[in-house]
Amino acid sequence: MRRVTLSLAMVLIVVCPVAMSHTIDVVASFSVLADIVRLVGGEHVKVTELVGPGGDPHAFEPTPKDSQALAQAEVVFVSGLGLEGWIERLVTASGYRGKVVTASAGISPRKIEAAGGKSITDPHAWNSARNGALYARNVMNALIASDPADADYFRKSGEAYIRTLEKLDAWAKAEFADIPQGKRKVLTGHNAFGYFGLEYGVQFFSPVSLSTDAEASASSVAELVDHLKREHLATFIENQTDARLLKQIAYASGVEPDGALYPEALSNKDGPASTYEAAFRHNVTTLARSMR
């Protein structure tokens, strides 16, 4: 009897730690948000991203595979503010019954005036590192609510990552501090850097509005060509969009694009923007260098 009891005790010692360890199946809407979830969740999350590296979250078309991923998920994270116009249809099609967590909750939305005087919300809030820290806090709190047993782990990794992003925000402000305001002007493919511009004092111009699905008018393109000729703005393509229009504008203005930025999609693992932090650093460093 004693031998049986001892054997059972040994089995419990071996099995219990494994049984108590829980990995949350998570779906994140696009690569930037997926990286934030991975950094906060660490070994206690398995993350499936719907829009992968180099993908355009505006033009995303869900597949049956994406629906299956949602059906198996315990938590779904979206950025919100209108970025994922396709998410409600996907949730309905998948039969997912869990919580859809909006990572941008609590952020003061930036509004712009569209055609006809209509006010629309800018969804690209993560392009401010200060907002990115709020994303991380919302992710941390959602993971704690989903898996209270691992709360200490999520809190420790989450707070450490939040401090990293707060330092990143301070570094970015210092990078632009010595650049005259008149030189802080940039042309990009679409209006994805509004929050970045507000936070770090940079003025962005673009032929296309908030969504890459939008079309540029002939008059707006002509205005940008004239503007580029007058001011010789630094010009950047975006990794996730078709660069042909921007290259045409640059060519007509007699300038060469200064490189690529990563506003809403990470690069592959071997690229310069394989994480949210790396993408943000790349964007700041590239922009500041061109302005100097």
222, pLDDT greater than 80? no
| Contact call for residues 188 and 206 (beta carbons, < 8 A) | yes
Kindly state which CATH superfamily the domain 24-168 is placed in. Answer: Nitrogenase molybdenum iron protein domain (3.40.50.1980)
Write down the pTM of the prediction.
0.86
Mean residue pLDDT of the chain comes to 86
Fold: same for 24-168 and 178-291: yes
DSSP 54: T
Candidates 3.65.10.10, 3.20.20.70, 3.40.50.1980, 3.40.50.280; correct CATH number of 178-291? 3.40.50.1980
pLDDT of residue 191: 83
pLDDT band at residue 250 under the 50/70/90 scheme: low
114, pLDDT greater than 90? no
User: Average pLDDT of 45-53?
Assistant: 98
**Strand-pair partners of 225:** none
Query: Checking DSSP bridges between strand 119-122 and strand 110-113, what pairing results, if any?
Result: antiparallel
216, pLDDT greater than 70? no
pLDDT of residue 258: 75
Which residue did the predictor score with more confidence, 104 or 12?
Answer: 104
* Residue 96 token pair: 């997912």
User: Average pLDDT of 232-250?
Assistant: 71
137, pLDDT greater than 50? yes
| Contact call for residues 200 and 230 (beta carbons, < 8 A) | no
pLDDT of residue 189: 75
Residue 71's contacts (CB-CB under 8 Å, 6 or more residues apart) are 94, 95, 96
Q: Where are the domains of the chain?
A: 24-168, 178-291
29-43, 190-204, 240-254: which range is least confident on average? 240-254
Which residue did the predictor score with more confidence, 270 or 10?
Answer: 270
In 3-state terms, the chain is what percent helix, strand and coil (to 5)?
Answer: 55, 15, 30
Look up residue 125 and give its amino acid.
A
pLDDT band at residue 16 under the 50/70/90 scheme: very low
Query: Checking DSSP bridges between strand 45-51 and strand 75-78, what pairing results, if any?
Result: unpaired
Three-state SS annotation for 98-113? CEEEECCCCCCCEEEE
Q: How far apart are CA 199 and CA 95, in angstroms?
A: 39
pLDDT band at residue 21 under the 50/70/90 scheme: low
Q: How far apart are CA 65 and CA 28, in angstroms?
A: 14
User: Average pLDDT of 86-112?
Assistant: 96
**Strand-pair partners of 101:** 77
Give the model confidence (pLDDT) of 185-196 as tens digits.
888 877 899 999
pLDDT of residue 223: 72
pLDDT band at residue 205 under the 50/70/90 scheme: confident
15, pLDDT greater than 60? no
Query: Checking DSSP bridges between strand 185-187 and strand 234-235, what pairing results, if any?
Result: parallel
pLDDT of residue 187: 85
Closest CA to 62 of 37, 29, 38, 34: 29
pLDDT of residue 171: 98
* Residue 236 token pair: 């950047």
